[in-house]
Amino acid sequence: MGSLWNNVVLHPLRPHSHTSFTSPMKQQKLLRSSRNSSKVIAYYGLKTPPYSLDALEPFMSRRTLEVHWGRHHRAYVEGLNKQLEKNDILYGCTMDELVKFTYNNGNPLPEFNNAAQVWNHDFFWESMQPGGGDMPKLGLLQQIDKDFGSFTNFREKFTEAALSLFGSGWVWLVLKRKEKCLAVVKTSNAVTPLVWDDIPILSLDMWEHAYYLDYQNDKAKYVNAFMDNLVWWDAATIRMVRAEAFVNLGEPNIPVA
Ligand SMILES: [Fe+2]
């Protein structure tokens, strides 16, 4: 997930020109107007995937990344920033806070869709890597065995959820805080398990824009390609280790002084 504050870019309300020549007189004027406008607004930047756009080929093409990340993800970021210009109450939130706050207990504010889609896509890009696939490791594998019976069972459940999702949405492996177990969940449109306070471990984008260019409507082929060649289990394993800091999955182990 990374620090989402890395994702925030601060701009003065009155933009400076960094790219074109500005005369000394104009610079003085800009400086004066900059001093007069002390208000600063937080904008969110478009994070780049942790690999080049052609790195996931042939399982996810450069063209898909150009359209999916370069157009759709970018549009969510730009749409969110435009909305935030008009809403002082949302100033200064981390992206996690923004998603939870704008979900507004099930009555989403207008900013929710863009905020959640920015969060979801950042998380999705970081759920894949070139040469992915294979198996989860360490504690994550043990917990999958415990909660699903086996990795094969988990994979079947994840695939079934992806293929039975109606319309656009996401499939997730989450750690449920209250139940203290892993679960597969699916969400519609922009909804993310963050809003129910569950901890996402892995996600798969099941919007048509994620697979149509490479797989047309063969969703099963897309899900299998993700599982066999793209999923980055190391990232999921690290997320699980972090999640365990907040959810006690065993007997308390209190150190004795
Ligand atoms: Fe997407």
CA–centroid distance, residue 209 to ligand 1 (Å): 6
CA–centroid distance, residue 39 to ligand 1 (Å): 33
Strand order in the sheet with 169-176: 181-188, 169-176, 199-205
CA–centroid distance, residue 62 to ligand 1 (Å): 15
CA–centroid distance, residue 33 to ligand 1 (Å): 40
CA–centroid distance, residue 208 to ligand 1 (Å): 8
CA–centroid distance, residue 207 to ligand 1 (Å): 6
Confirm whether residue 209 is marked as ligand binding: yes
The tens digit of pLDDT for each residue in 214-227 reads 999 999 999 999 99
Q: Are 162 and 186 in contact (CB under 8 A)?
A: yes
Residue 92: the pLDDT is: 81
Confirm whether residue 16 is marked as ligand binding: no
Over the range 149-181, which residues count as b (16 or more CB within 10 Å of their CB) and which as e? eeeeebbebbbebbeebeeebbbbbbbbeeeee
CA–centroid distance, residue 11 to ligand 1 (Å): 27
Distance, in Å, from the CA atom of 65 to the CA atom of 53, rounded to the nearest integer, reads 6
pTM of the complete model: 0.83
Residue ranges near ligand 1 (ion) with Cβ within 5 Å: 205, 207, 210
Q: Where are the chain's structural domains?
A: 62-126, 138-247
The two domains 62-126 and 138-247 share their CATH topology (first three levels equal)? no
The tens digit of pLDDT for each residue in 92-109 reads 889 999 999 999 999 999
Residue 41: the pLDDT is: 57
Residue 25: the pLDDT is: 54
62-126 belongs to which homologous superfamily? Fe,Mn superoxide dismutase (SOD) domain (1.10.287.990)
Could you tell me where the beta strands, DSSP code E, fall in the chain? 8-12, 40-44, 169-176, 181-188, 199-205
Collapse the DSSP code of 170 into the 3-class scheme (helix H, G, I; strand E, B; otherwise coil) and give the result: strand
**CATH architecture type of domain 138-247:** 3-Layer(bab) Sandwich (3.55)
